[in-house]
Amino acid sequence: MRHLSRTPAALMVCLAALCAAPGLACRPKAQGVAVQNKGSDTMVNVAQAWAETYRSVAPDVNVEVSGGGSGTGIAALTRGTVDIANASRDIKAEEAALVRQNTGRDPKDHKVGYDALAVYVHPDNPLESITFDQLSGIYREDGALVRWRQLGITVPRCTSDEIVRVSRQSSSGTYDFFRERVLNKRDFKLGSRDLNGSKEVVELVATTPCAIGYSGMGYATSHVKMLRVARRAGDPAYPPTVEATWKRTYPIARSLHMYTLGEPSGPVKAYLDWVLSAQGQRILQESGYVPVPPSAEVDR
Amino acid sequence: MTAARDTIPVADGRRARRSFGSVAAERTIEAAIRLSGISAIVFVLAIFFFIFREAAPVLVSDEFKPLEFLFSIQWYPTSVVDVRYGTLALTAGTAGVTILAMLLAVPFGLGAAVFVSEFCGPRMKETLKIVIELLAAIPSVVWGFVALTVISRLMVQYTSAPVGVNMLNGSIVLALMSVPIIVSIGEDALKAVPDSYREAAVAMGATRLQLVFRVLLPAARNGLLAAVLLGVGRAVGETMAVLMATGHAVQIPHGILDSVRTLTANIAAELGEAPAGSAHYRVLFLTGIQLFLITFAVNLAADLAIRGVRRK
């Protein structure tokens, strides 16, 4: 072990070098108020984009964003350690009860946008659209679809012809939402690659010709193909677009929420108002999500 | 003579004065050192107790079936229709990844230890040791990143693997992480072999290869075994890199290119969101105990093996 003893010293030197580099890491905390914002991994990149731009809108307010999953965010709200919890699903009744029990206040829901879960395949895959039945056949515990040829297609460079299922870890809101909406609350087939992030799903599909995966449409890149989705065979299949999400024709879409303890006030309220403003919603759209329609802003 | 006689009472006086002032301090320091020695035992027991206390309530609950826990591959901790806690696939994943990693790491690690200690010149030796230390300094999340981006791509390109994150990828990363430990400790073990052995072998006309295989390796056997087992310990316990490299799929692997999930990665991915006190949370702690027992068994086996070797 003697040889390893120099390791910590070497690490310290590296860290010191990082700190010395301007604006890289260890940035000193901004002066003023801090707003704690935690939750959904689906929302973490847009939440970060909001927080960064907001620094130029209100320099004395520092919004600190972290991910971990919708459940983690709401749990943190229950403990009172965050001001705003991001969630890519509705708060569950028992979670709301827990918030009330622990803090004495009701969680207040702010709808800040929409997310359409896209079904991704490799660009070489000839498939263009897919139905809920086919997705269930692929992903659900009792599903019989394991080869691409069962869908009537041959995928180039996928020699094994195996459908490589890419999924999310069981604690993720995306996993919950896909199971509820597409699999009818039944369980996933074992043996899927359960990745720990939305972006990882898209990256893995991009490098794997045999793969199919689901993730927020905000994570789409030019290296993957998004499928059109139909509820039933024979129904029209809709692509994941803003219009289809607004009209609720795209079947795997959901709203994005920010929860606060009771009616927000002060800097938290100012921040949420700004998120719903034209600038905030433009940032949301640039991250690949669907903004709330103008009418929602009115009835808020 | 007179000078010597003169100094004795002075020396005695000093000793007497010390016994009042600093003996107490010395005792305190001694006690503190003894305490820190014993603290290791206390900590291990405390950790085991804490984990067991968190896990215990589920053992007696109706939701938990011990046979299912050990021998079923069905891991559905958050199911809404039928919750099942079977860990066989996770245990198989841990075992598979570790064994494959050791098959890769042991030849390289011991080979490197022999080379560094016996074959290379002093300058080369210093360089190699520094580079190997650097290898040990790379954080596991960085290894995971390398696995995910570099190894995974190469794997899809050059093997028939349908997906780049799999058991082989995880094993390569684990092998890279445990090689520095095996080399460091293996080299120490070889260095501890007295030079007289080497001189005797050379005097008998042994070639360098004969020297290594017939004299050094048998003589350093215990130390080398310890090196390998510390490597195994590293591989079994590693979490972040395997989480990113193995593909995190719950299944019994049928080949080295299948994706798997390990016990450690499973705890890391799920404990954060399992509500404290729920059955899922407690079962995750139970898998922690399982992991504890596996490493305990490995260490015990190693201890017995070393003793067996010594008796001969």
pLDDT in tens, A128-172: 999 999 999 999 999 999 999 999 999 988 888 899 999 998 877
Residues in chain B closer than 8 A to A72 (CB atoms): 272-273
Place of tokens 């490299």: B245
Of A2, A11, A171, nearest to B272 by CB-CB distance is: A171
Of B80, B81, B160, nearest to A160 by CB-CB distance is: B160
**pLDDT average, residue stretch A232-252:** 88
CA A41 to chain B, closest CA, distance in angstroms equals 12
| Whether residue A11 has pLDDT greater than 70 | no
| Whether residue A287 has pLDDT greater than 80 | no
Residue A294: per-residue pLDDT: 75
CA dist list (Å): A234 to A213, A231, A237: 23, 9, 9
Residue A199: per-residue pLDDT: 86
Helix axes A278-286, A266-275, angle to 10 degrees: 60
| Whether residue A19 has pLDDT greater than 50 | no
Residue A279: per-residue pLDDT: 93
Residue B5: per-residue pLDDT: 47
Residue B157: per-residue pLDDT: 82
| CA nearest neighbour of B255 among B142, B100, B129, B77 | B100
Decide which of B96 and A15 is more confident: B96
Which amino acid is residue B113, in one-letter code?
A
Decide which of B213 and A67 is more confident: B213
pLDDT grade, residue B311 (50/70/90)?
low
Sequential DSSP letters for B176-209: HHHHHHHHHHHHHHHHTS-HHHHHHHHHTT--HH
* ipTM exceeding cut-off 0.90 for this assembly: no
**pLDDT average, residue stretch A181-186:** 91
Which amino acid is residue B225, in one-letter code?
L
Residue A90: per-residue pLDDT: 86
Residues in chain B closer than 8 A to A139 (CB atoms): none
| Whether residue B168 has pLDDT greater than 50 | yes
Mean pLDDT of chain A: 84
Decide yes or no: CATH 3.30.360.10 for domain A30-114+253-299: no
Q: For residue A114, give both structure tokens.
A: 């929409």
- Interface mutation vs chain B, best among A1, A2, A4, A78, most B CBs within 10 Å: A4
- For the ranges A79-83, A245-249, B308-312, the maximum mean pLDDT occurs at A79-83
Sequential DSSP letters for A41-77: STTHHHHHHHHHHHHHHSTTEEEEEE-S-HHHHHHHH
Verify whether the Cβ–Cβ distance A210 to B162 is below 8 Å.
Answer: yes
Nearest residue of A to residue B162 by CA position? A210
| Whether residue A22 has pLDDT greater than 50 | no
Residue A15: per-residue pLDDT: 43
| CATH 3.40.190.10 domain span(s) along chain A | 30-114+253-299, 116-246
Cα A83 to Cα A85: distance, rounded to the nearest angstrom: 7
| Whether residue B98 has pLDDT greater than 90 | yes
pLDDT grade, residue B308 (50/70/90)?
low
pLDDT grade, residue B2 (50/70/90)?
very low
pLDDT grade, residue B16 (50/70/90)?
low
**Percent of chain B clearing pLDDT 70 (strictly above):** 93
Kindly state which CATH superfamily the domain A116-246 is placed in.
Periplasmic binding protein-like II (3.40.190.10)
Residue A89: per-residue pLDDT: 83
Touching B: A residues 180-239, CB under 8 Å: 185-187, 190-196, 200, 203-204, 207-208, 210-211
Residue A245: per-residue pLDDT: 87
Residues in chain B closer than 8 A to A187 (CB atoms): 76, 79, 81-82
What lies within 8 Å, CB to CB, of B77 at 6+ separation is A170, B83, B85, B270, B274, B280, B283, B284
Residue B211: per-residue pLDDT: 92
| CA nearest neighbour of B193 among B226, B228, B223, B227 | B223
pLDDT grade, residue A5 (50/70/90)?
very low
**pLDDT average, residue stretch B93-106:** 95
**pLDDT average, residue stretch A105-134:** 92
CA A274 to chain B, closest CA, distance in angstroms equals 30
pLDDT in tens, B219-262: 998 889 888 988 898 899 899 889 889 988 999 999 899 999 99
Residue A31: per-residue pLDDT: 56
Verify whether the Cβ–Cβ distance A6 to B133 is below 8 Å.
Answer: yes
The dihedral through the CA atoms of A94, A99, A105, A106 has a sign that is: negative
Which amino acid is residue B92, in one-letter code?
A
**pLDDT average, residue stretch B157-172:** 88
**Percent of chain A clearing pLDDT 70 (strictly above):** 87
Specify which residues A207 forms β-bridges with: none
| Whether residue B35 has pLDDT greater than 80 | yes
pLDDT in tens, B118-149: 898 899 999 999 999 888 889 989 998 999 88
- Which has the minimum average pLDDT: A10-14, A148-152, B289-293? A10-14
Residue B312: per-residue pLDDT: 52
Q: For residue B196, give both structure tokens.
A: 């007289």
